[in-house]
């Protein structure tokens, strides 16, 4: 009984899923390139990774990368030379969550997003403010200048425009 196929980690899902020949008069059978084959081509040819780096990024063996790459190159060559439609779909893969430290040697787009929008501890906490006047909750939003937040602090409104953008004074 053969070993089960190990799921390959993919850091970049393709934006374009079909490539058509310019002369599409002959309805030839499409060639299907799997997403993990696409990722191998992307890492080795576009990013310039070695097979070892590609294997680490995809969390598979180097020999598996070599086999996937060989199959992918043959499919692309067949599509180009014989004028077949090339479609990217399927395969044994999982999309990277961008959280692992060894994620694609810093080339993972999700990891870049996490770094860009990372919030300091407590910075992303939402606080609720209610209208407050004379020690009581005031029932009409926008008709008072004082709000009480969930932290217990009073906020005083300096100005408020039509679009409900509130400028506060702490």
Domain ranges, ordered by start, for the chain: 8-116, 129-169
pLDDT at 44 over 80: yes
- Cα–Cα dist 170/105, whole Å: 44
Give the mean pLDDT of 37-63: 93
Task: Flag whether pLDDT at 112 surpasses 80.
Answer: no
Name the average pLDDT for the chain.
76
Label residue 89 by pLDDT band (50, 70, 90). Answer: very high
pLDDT(76) > 80 = yes
pLDDT at 114: 61
Q: Cβ neighbours of residue 164 under 8 Å, at least 6 residues apart?
A: 142
Tell me what pLDDT residue 25 has: 64
- Among 155, 153, 146, 149, smallest CA distance to 127 is for 149
pTM of the model: 0.61
Q: How large is the average pLDDT for residues 132-155?
A: 64
Residue 116 φ/ψ region, left for φ over 0, alpha for ψ in the -120 to 50 degree band, beta for the rest: alpha
The predicted pLDDT at position 26 comes to: 73
1-40 residue pLDDT tens: 777 777 888 888 888 999 988 876 677 889 999 999 999 9
């Amino acid at each position: 009984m053969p070993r089960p196929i190990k799921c390959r980690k993919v850091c970049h899902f393709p934006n374009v899923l079909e490539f058509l020949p310019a002369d599409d008069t002959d309805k030839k059978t499409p060639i299907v390139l799997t997403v993990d084959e696409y990722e191998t081509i992307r890492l080795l040819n576009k990013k310039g990774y070695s097979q070892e780096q590609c294997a680490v990024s995809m969390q598979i063996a180097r020999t598996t990368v070599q086999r996937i790459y060989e199959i992918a190159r043959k499919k692309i060559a067949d599509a180009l030379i014989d004028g077949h439609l090339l479609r990217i779909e399927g395969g044994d893969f999982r999309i990277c969550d961008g959280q692992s430290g060894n994620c694609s040697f810093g080339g993972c787009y999700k990891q870049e997003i996490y770094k860009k929008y990372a919030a300091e501890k407590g910075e992303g906490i939402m606080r609720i403010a209610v209208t407050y006047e004379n020690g009581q909750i005031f029932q009409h939003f926008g008709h008072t200048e004082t709000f009480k937040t969930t932290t217990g602090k009073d906020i005083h409104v300096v100005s408020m425009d039509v679009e409900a953008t509130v400028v506060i004074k702490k």
